[in-house]
């Protein structure tokens, strides 16, 4: 019982510290994902291009990034870039952004390829250039399809950002370990930080779910219409 009350009192008293860490965690994640989306789109276009060289470059990039641990990449940028006077925060952001760009590239590649080729043909038959077709016809549809996996990638990135603690970026996990070391109550602060992460993840899962529902509204409308129709038939049969 005293353990539990201790946990809650520690949680309450450490709240201002953790709140700052939480803001930094969110900032890291949002900036890394936004940069990752830009980079991922570029890598996806390389992967889908007609040029063998560009496809090969994208392939090697994706393989290297997905084939090595994120912590290695973060340290790599830390030791490589901090000498140039770049802060630990930006080393972590760049590391996370590049890491995510490889995964997001595959998300975009898949969603672009999933758009029916007839859409491209229709656009081209109307005299649109391939660039116009990509920008106005294919990408808007591909983005919608990419939204749920992008949301999941955001959540993964949110948790992965804890690795930035190892290059002394003072986000959530770093604060937890620092508090634990200072007070010798490591378990308490680990539990506290786990709660922060869990709540964040649950919130963002909810947002992703809402976005999915909002953006698939067209398909939803048809589904509900059909359901109503079936429902009506069921009642008639009774």
Partner 1 sequence: MIERKIMVKVSSLNKSFGDLHVLKDVDLQVAEKEVVVLIGSSGSGKSTLLRCLNFLEMKESGSIEIDGVQIEPKSTNLNVFRQNVGMVFQHFNLFPHKTVLENVIEAPVVVKKVPKDQAIAEARVLLEKVGLADKEAVYPNKLSGGQKQRVAIARALAMKPKVMLFDEPTSALDPELVGEVLVTMKDLAAEGMTMIVVTHEMGFAKEAADLVVYMHDGQIVEAGKPMDLFTAPKQERTRSFLQAIL
Site of interaction with partner 1 (CB under 8 A): 116, 118-119, 121-129, 132, 136-137, 140-141, 144, 218-219, 221-222
Whole-number Å distance between alpha carbons of 35 and 211:
21
Q: How far is CA 13 from the centre of its chain?
A: 31
CB of 119 to partner 1, least distance (A): 6
CB of 153 to partner 1, least distance (A): 22
DSSP-H helix ranges across the chain: 2-13, 15-48, 52-66, 70-81, 88-113, 117-125, 130-133, 139-160, 172-183, 186-215, 217-237
CB of 60 to partner 1, least distance (A): 30
Characterise 184 by phi-psi region: left (phi > 0), alpha (psi -120 to 50), beta (else).
Answer: left
Q: Is 75 or 143 the residue whose CB approaches partner 1 more closely?
A: 143
CB of 224 to partner 1, least distance (A): 12
Q: Is 119 or 168 the residue whose CB approaches partner 1 more closely?
A: 119
Q: Is 186 or 226 the residue whose CB approaches partner 1 more closely?
A: 226
Let me know the angle formed at the C-alpha of 152 by 29 and 70, rounded to the nearest 5 degrees: 55
| CB of 41 closer than 8 Å to CB of 108 | yes
Q: Is 94 or 137 the residue whose CB approaches partner 1 more closely?
A: 137
| CB of 57 closer than 8 Å to CB of 82 | no
Q: Is 136 or 228 the residue whose CB approaches partner 1 more closely?
A: 136
Q: Which has the closest alpha carbon to 34: 92, 104, 114, 125? A: 104
Q: Is 217 or 236 the residue whose CB approaches partner 1 more closely?
A: 217
CB of 127 to partner 1, least distance (A): 4
Q: Is 17 or 139 the residue whose CB approaches partner 1 more closely?
A: 139
User: b/e string for 126-163 if b means 16 or more Cβ within 10 A?
Assistant: eebeeeebbeebbbeebbbbbbbbbbebbbbbbebbbb
CB of 108 to partner 1, least distance (A): 17
| CB of 25 closer than 8 Å to CB of 89 | no
CB of 118 to partner 1, least distance (A): 4
């Amino acid at each position: 019982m005293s353990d539990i009350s201790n946990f809650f009192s520690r949680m309450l008293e450490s709240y201002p510290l953790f709140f700052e860490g939480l803001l930094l965690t969110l900032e890291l994640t949002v900036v890394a994902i936004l940069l990752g989306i830009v980079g991922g789109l570029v890598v996806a276009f390389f992967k889908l291009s007609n040029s063998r060289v560009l496809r090969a470059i994208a392939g090697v990039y994706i393989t290297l990034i997905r084939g090595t641990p994120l912590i290695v990449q973060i340290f790599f940028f830390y030791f490589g870039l901090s000498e140039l006077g770049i802060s630990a925060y930006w080393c972590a952001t760049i590391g996370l952004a590049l890491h995510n760009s490889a995964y997001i590239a595959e998300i975009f590649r898949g969603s672009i390829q999933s758009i029916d080729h007839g859409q491209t043909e229709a656009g081209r038959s109307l005299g649109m250039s391939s660039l116009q077709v990509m920008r106005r016809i294919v990408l808007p549809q591909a983005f919608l399809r990419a939204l749920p996996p992008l949301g999941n990638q955001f959540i993964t990135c949110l948790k992965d950002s804890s690795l930035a603690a190892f290059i002394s970026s003072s986000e959530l996990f770093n604060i937890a370990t620092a508090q634990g070391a200072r007070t010798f109550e490591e378990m308490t602060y680990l539990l506290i930080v786990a709660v922060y992460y869990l709540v964040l993840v649950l919130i963002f899962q909810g947002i992703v779910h809402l976005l999915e529902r909002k953006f698939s509204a067209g398909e939803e409308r048809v589904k509900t219409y059909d359901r109503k129709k079936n429902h009506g038939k069921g009642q008639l049969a009774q």
